[in-house]
C-alpha cells in the first residue's frame, strides 16, 4: 500500500513524466554519440536541427525536432537538470497538461525567436522549453524561495529575462565576439531562443493570473451601461 501511494505521488508531481522524457532524450543522445555525433553524422543535425533551410525543407517539423537533439552530454544534462528542478513545482501548481503545454510553447516560440535573429545558425536543444517552464513558475509564485539558489523565484525570472536579452543583443551585434574568453563559449549559446521561450512562459503566467469576471462584476458593468444609456 505504501509502495502504491509513493508511486502515485511520484506520478502526480510530474517526476515520472520527466523520467520518461529524460530516457528518450538520453537514448537519442547515446545513439548519436555512438554514431560519432555531429562530426560523423552531421546530416542528422542539419536535417532535424532548426535553421531556416531545415524548417523550409521538412514541412516545419524541425521546429519541434530540434529540441530532441543536443550538442553534447553537458548540454543535455544541463537541460535535464532544469527540467527536474522546475517540473514538479509546475505540476503541483497547474497539473501536467499545463506543464507540458508550456514546454511545447517554449520550444516553438524559442525556435521562432532563433529563426528571426539567426536563421542561418543551427539550433538544437530543449532549453527554450525549459526557459518557458521556469518563467511560468516564477511568474505564478514570485515569492517562492528556490532551494538551489538563494534568490526568490520572481527575481530569478527577471534576472533570466534581462540576461538573455542583453547577451542576445550582444551576440547579434557581435560586440562580445571579440572577447577572447567569451567568443568561444557565451556567444555560442542561443540566447534569443532562451528569451523567446522565457517570454512564452511569462505570457502564459500573466494570462493565468488575469482578472477573472464574476457575477458581481458583470452586474456592476451592466448597471453602468444601463445608467449611461438612461443619461
Residue 176, pLDDT above cutoff 60: no
Q: How much is the pTM?
A: 0.83
Alpha helices in 49-190 (DSSP H): 52-57, 62-65, 73-94, 96-117, 127-140, 153-173
Question: Looking at the predicted structure, is the pLDDT value of residue 68 above 90?
Answer: yes
Contact 129, 52 (CB under 8 A): no
Supply φ then ψ for residue 50, to 5 degrees: -105, 120
What is the per-residue pLDDT across 178-191, written as a single tens digit (0 to 9) for each? 444 444 444 467 89
Over residues 22-45, the mean pLDDT reads 95
Strand partners, 152: 145
Read off the C-alpha cell for 59.
514541412
Domain boundaries, the chain: 2-230
Is the pLDDT higher at 30 or at 174? 30
Predicted confidence at residue 225, as pLDDT, reads 62
Q: What is the CATH number of domain 2-230?
A: 1.20.1540.10
Amino acid at each position: 500500500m505504501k509502495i502504491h501511494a509513493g508511486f502515485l505521488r511520484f506520478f502526480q508531481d510530474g517526476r515520472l513524466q520527466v523520467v520518461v522524457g529524460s530516457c528518450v532524450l538520453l537514448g537519442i543522445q547515446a545513439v548519436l554519440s555512438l554514431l560519432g555525433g555531429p562530426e560523423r553524422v552531421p546530416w542528422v543535425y542539419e536535417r532535424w536541427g532548426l535553421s531556416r533551410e531545415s524548417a523550409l525543407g521538412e514541412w516545419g517539423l524541425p521546429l519541434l525536432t530540434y529540441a530532441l537533439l543536443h550538442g553534447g552530454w553537458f548540454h543535455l544534462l544541463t537541460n535535464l537538470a532544469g527540467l527536474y528542478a522546475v517540473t514538479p513545482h509546475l505540476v503541483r501548481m497547474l497539473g501536467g497538461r499545463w506543464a507540458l503545454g508550456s514546454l511545447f510553447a517554449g520550444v516553438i516560440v524559442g525556435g521562432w525567436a532563433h529563426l528571426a535573429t539567426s536563421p542561418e545558425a543551427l539550433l538544437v536543444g530543449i532549453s527554450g522549453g525549459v526557459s518557458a517552464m521556469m518563467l511560468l513558475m516564477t511568474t505564478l509564485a514570485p515569492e517562492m524561495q528556490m532551494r538551489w539558489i538563494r534568490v526568490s523565484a520572481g527575481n530569478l525570472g527577471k534576472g533570466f529575462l534581462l540576461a538573455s536579452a542583453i547577451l542576445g543583443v550582444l551576440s547579434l551585434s557581435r560586440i562580445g565576439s571579440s572577447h577572447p574568453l567569451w567568443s568561444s563559449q557565451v556567444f555560442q549559446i542561443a540566447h534569443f531562443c532562451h528569451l523567446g521561450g522565457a517570454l512564452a512562459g511569462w505570457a502564459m503566467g500573466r494570462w493565468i493570473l488575469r482578472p477573472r469576471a464574476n457575477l458581481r462584476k458583470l452586474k456592476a458593468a451592466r448597471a453602468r451601461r444601463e445608467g449611461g444609456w438612461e443619461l
